[in-house]
Chain A
Amino acid sequence: MKLEFHSLTKCYGSHTVLDGITAQLNFPRALVLVGPSGGGKSTLLRLVGGLELTDEGTIRLDGELVPTHEKSLRLYRSGIGTVFQSWNLFPHLSAMANIMLPLTAVHRVPENEARKRALELLERFHLADHAHKRPAELSGGQRQRIAIARAVVIRPRLLLFDEPTSALDPEMTAEVLEVIADLKAEGRAFILVTHAMNFARVVADEVAFLAQGRIAEHGSAKDFFSTPRTPEATRFLERVLKY
């Protein structure tokens, strides 16, 4: 996949979150965004996902311009699978219904076909026994895996994970990371924002380091973790890998 940013700027009120990013990121499957909190990782991901509009600049995904009008943006979003930090399942729907909704409502897949595809994923993620439970009856890890199933079921061109394990305990984190590694092995392309550095090191093809609204550096995971080029990244890695 090829992701290009040109003078990308995003502000919330007077606060500049992304400050004129120009970069070209190539990654066969997994791009991981790392960096200090407030550095703009999540915002960049939301812009790529078409959930926010840019203030200035453009984004191209595999050469195609990310639209800026609500109608074409909705179509663009429907082809991308997004998983948020937490609480992104609909609480009034069962696990099964949550996974089926984008298929039946957005992609016009017939009910029985949608059910079949949802069940396949539930089985693959070892969740078949929980198909008829509502989110409140499930653990955090189960919920997050169902959210991933909902994002994957539409066979998206790209998956986006926004800190998918930040709200989970270590055991549940492991469950979720296993699923993400599994998706990579299957050949799915995704962008992941995470603070789980060891996982980032293992799963990433390409790493981009964001600080103060800019991509301070980017490169292969191997190079980034062994020999970071900027002092900010060096300091960041020293701090987060210390303990």
Chain B
Amino acid sequence: MTARHRTLNSVISFILGGVLFAGICYAVLRLATWQWDGVWEYRTVFWKGWITTIWISAAALLLSVIFGLTCALARRAPYPAVRWLAAGYVELIRGTPLLVQLLILFYVVADATGLQNRYAAGVIILSIFSGAYIAEMMRGGIESVGKSHLDSARAIGLTRGQTYRYVIFPQAIRHILPPLAGQAASIIKDSSLLSILGIAEFTLAAQQVNSATYSTLESYLPLAVGYLALTLPVSLLARKLEGRFRYET
């Protein structure tokens, strides 16, 4: 395809996309009878929920990185039992829906262990879920380091810990960072499911506003916009990281 064809192509795509988007907006705006007044009164509910979503996601990201790293290292442990345990965790969590995990871990496990704080429980469950995915990213990153480098590390006389610190992690990080940024966006979206535990985050806020005002669309449109405001910057960061690391390799 020539450069001119490419330009023409993108211009046509742009116009078609614009027309489609305008059509949808028109239909929504025209067909719905908007009642923003009721919803506007609940703006602080939205705001508080949005802030809660931010800190819950941030806490879950931090904790799931710790879980993921522990699990990735455990999968390379010299003891088979530890490796199997870690592999079992990853397969179990990645093979079941988050909703099911939330229900079981919250109403059965958290209840049995006496964990009363639903926010703490929510963050931990979300981190257990996300940690399984991060563990796989980290495992991939660690395994991307060539065997010859591990050989060199041994020849120099580095210990296992030093090999991770000086050789494996600095090289693995370029493989891990881009998908990790993507996972951060997923955590933000997945945190919406915590609403079923009665955690007053962004989605629960919108549900409350909806049941108080009966203005469904007016309650949920801000919800979509609020999530996008968080996930778009993170996605852009992920793409930027991908580009940068691809260039360096």
Given contacts A87-B146, A92-B171, contact A77 B152 (CB under 8 A): no
Which residues of chain B (148-200) have a CB below 8 Å from chain A?
148-149, 151-152, 154-159, 162, 166-167, 170-171
Partner of B148, one of A74, A84, A102: A84
* Majority DSSP secondary structure for residues of B touching A: helix
Residue A65 at the chain B interface, CB threshold 8 Å: no
Asked whether, in the complex, the Cβ of B154 is within 8 Å of the Cβ of A51, the reply is yes
Partner of B170, one of A77, A88, A92: A92
Given contacts A91-B171, A92-B170, contact A101 B146 (CB under 8 A): no
Asked whether, in the complex, the Cβ of B166 is within 8 Å of the Cβ of A105, the reply is yes
Q: B148 — which chain A residues lie within 8 A by C-beta?
A: 84, 86-88
Asked whether, in the complex, the Cβ of A105 is within 8 Å of the Cβ of B158, the reply is yes
Asked whether, in the complex, the Cβ of B157 is within 8 Å of the Cβ of A74, the reply is yes
Question: Roughly how many angstroms separate A101 CA and B159 CA in the complex, as a whole number?
Answer: 13
Which residues of chain B (97-118) have a CB below 8 Å from chain A?
none
Q: Which interface class (under 10, 10 to 19, 20 to 34, 35 or more) fits A?
A: 20 to 34
Q: A49 — which chain B residues lie within 8 A by C-beta?
A: 155
Residue A106 at the chain B interface, CB threshold 8 Å: yes
Question: Roughly how many angstroms separate A91 CA and B162 CA in the complex, as a whole number?
Answer: 16
Residue of B nearest to A79 (CB): B157
Contact with B along A65-109 (1 / 0, CB 8 A): 000000000110111101010111111110000000110011000
Question: Roughly how many angstroms separate A101 CA and B154 CA in the complex, as a whole number?
Answer: 12
- How far, in Å, is A54 (CB) from chain B's closest CB? 16
Question: Roughly how many angstroms separate A74 CA and B160 CA in the complex, as a whole number?
Answer: 10
Q: Which interface class (under 10, 10 to 19, 20 to 34, 35 or more) fits B?
A: 10 to 19
Q: B162 — which chain A residues lie within 8 A by C-beta?
A: 105-106
Asked whether, in the complex, the Cβ of B152 is within 8 Å of the Cβ of A84, the reply is yes
Question: Roughly how many angstroms separate A77 CA and B152 CA in the complex, as a whole number?
Answer: 11
Contact with B along A108-125 (1 / 0, CB 8 A): 000000000000000000
Question: Roughly how many angstroms separate A78 CA and B166 CA in the complex, as a whole number?
Answer: 16
Question: Roughly how many angstroms separate A49 CA and B151 CA in the complex, as a whole number?
Answer: 11
Given contacts A87-B146, A92-B171, contact A101 B155 (CB under 8 A): no
- Greatest chain A CB density within 10 A among B146, B152, B162, B166 is at B152
Residue of A nearest to B157 (CB): A78
Q: A150 — which chain B residues lie within 8 A by C-beta?
A: 156
Question: Roughly how many angstroms separate A49 CA and B158 CA in the complex, as a whole number?
Answer: 14
Q: A105 — which chain B residues lie within 8 A by C-beta?
A: 156, 158, 162, 166
Task: Identify 17 residue pairs between A and B in the complex whose beta-carbon atoms are under 8 Å apart, listed by A's number.
Answer: A74-B154, A74-B159, A75-B157, A77-B154, A77-B156, A78-B157, A84-B152, A84-B155, A87-B149, A88-B149, A88-B151, A88-B152, A90-B167, A91-B171, A92-B171, A102-B156, A106-B157
A90-B171, A92-B171 are known; give 6 further A-B pairs, CB within 8 A.
Answer: A49-B155, A77-B154, A77-B157, A84-B151, A87-B148, A101-B166
